[in-house]
Amino acid sequence: MPTVYIIFYSLYHHIYTVAKEVQKGLELQGIEVKLFQVPETLNEEVLTKLHAPARPDVPVISVDQLTEADGFMFGIPTRFGTMPAQIKSFFDATGKLWASGALSGKFVGTFFATGVQHGGQETTSLTAVTYFAHHGMNYVPLGFADANLFDNSEVVGGSAYGAGTVTNGDGSRQPSEKELAVARTQGQNFGKILSAYHRGLEKTATNSPAPSQKEASDKPAATATTTTTTTTAEPAAKPVDQAPKEREVKKETAAKPAEPKNKAEEKKKSSCFCM
């Protein structure tokens, strides 16, 4: 089955909570999932002043590990309507993979968190898409696949680009049940698309097996032999069949008086009588 890496940055664990729901949705489709977080760029002194809790117990990913997965879901908290420095620093380090086309054709999606409803959840995804486009990756939006995205009776994070949560400026609001349901839906939908794509690849490979080296070398030789035999046999048969007919025609021509001569004499006689 395909493998998806969920890669996130989560200072106050809101994104981490959403990531685990995305994981559930993917696993419902039989996808193998691994969670990672990007390297932290802030030092401990700054983190202490921000009252940040201990980092989630999730391994930190390196750029080279991106080649191992078939797809990615990036959890991106918003900073002024775009991605934070931690995510950008990680993306900026993928230049070697871009130069070699190592991520081309892989599938990718996004989910996010903002402090307020109008904090830029959509622009966060749109600014991330520029990286995916340069790598030649297939961006998969959520659309309005979950009914909770139509609910205006309460605050519900997320958009057509992916699941999301609204945290309040101080981080006091945790992801709601509706927001977590949207995250599971996104994981399921992403898993369906990825599974269908890989089933198609397997079917194509099964129906069109590549010829072995021996078959490839034997095939031209067999064709050449057949062509040579056919070409040689036809000219040999023609002279045998046509020779008797040609001799008969020559014999008849030799026995017969020349037709042009008789015609010329008759023409001469005719002319004489007319004069």
Closest listed residue to residue 24, CA positions, set 196, 199, 180: 180
Considering the domain architecture, whether residues 35 and 134 belong to the same structural domain is answered as yes
Considering the domain architecture, whether residues 191 and 69 belong to the same structural domain is answered as yes
User: Are 157 and 164 within 8 A, CB to CB?
Assistant: yes
Identify the bridge partners of residue 138 per DSSP, sorted by sequence position: 107
Q: Is residue 224 part of a domain?
A: no
Q: Is residue 220 part of a domain?
A: no
Q: At 192, which CATH number?
A: 3.40.50.360
Domain count, the chain: 2
Residue 64: strand, helix, or coil: helix
Average pLDDT along the chain, 275 residues, taken 10 residues at a time: 96 97 97 98 95 95 97 97 97 97 98 95 96 98 97 96 95 96 98 92 75 56 44 47 51 50 48 42
Q: Is residue 82 part of a domain?
A: yes
Its sign, for the CA torsion 252, 257, 258, 260, is negative
Domain that holds residue 258: 234-275
Q: Is residue 43 part of a domain?
A: yes
Considering the domain architecture, whether residues 201 and 238 belong to the same structural domain is answered as no
For 75, the enclosing helix (H) or strand (E) is strand 71-77
Last residue of a domain, one of 157, 172, 207: 207
77-104, pLDDT tens digit by residue? 999 999 999 999 999 999 999 999 999 9
Q: Is residue 268 part of a domain?
A: yes
